[in-house]
Amino acid sequence: MQKPKYHAFVCTSSKINGQQKGFCSSKDGVEIVQNLVEEIEERDLNDSVMVTNVGCFGICSSGPIVVVYPEGVWYKEVAVDDVTEIVESHFENGKVVERLEIK
Ligand code: FES
């Protein structure tokens, strides 16, 4: 396996006990990660973008949170409808979606 160019961590409020219960999961966190994976597959970006489902980042009231490396960009209040823009702008064109960025 080759190392991906981008690694996106999506908060779905996954707990250590296996439950998905928390702010980001109540705000479509699971749907966001599913749509992100689908969009990446449709655009044939599987080799350059890895998506990982994670637990709480500790800033729940700003969720759902998506964190992207190597830049260390933290996106806040991500909605299902924002997924396409993140994929197009950030992963295809290398341009951070500033309106969602935590600065
Ligand atoms: S549950 Fe997502 S940041 Fe806390």
Residue-range domains of the chain with CATH: 6-100 (3.40.30.10)
Cα separation of 103 and 54, whole Å? 21
pLDDT at 2 over 90: no
Q: What is the pLDDT of residues 57-97, one digit of tens each?
A: 999 999 999 999 999 999 999 999 999 999 999 999 999 99
User: Smallest Cα–Cα separation from 63: which of 27, 100, 9?
Assistant: 27
Site residues for ligand 1, CB cut-off 6 Å: 11, 13, 22-24, 56-57, 59-60, 63, 65
pLDDT for 13 equals 92
Instruction: Tell me the whole-structure pTM to 2 decimals.
Output: 0.95
Cα separation of 82 and 94, whole Å? 16
Please give the mean pLDDT across all residues of the chain: 95
Cα separation of 85 and 2, whole Å? 25
pLDDT for 96 equals 98
Residue 9 C-alpha from the chain's centroid: 5
What three-state secondary structure class fits 72? coil
Q: Is residue 1 very low, low, confident or very high in pLDDT (cuts 50, 70, 90)?
A: low
The residue to mutate among 15, 24, 32, having the most atoms of ligand 1 within 8 angstroms of its beta carbon, is 24
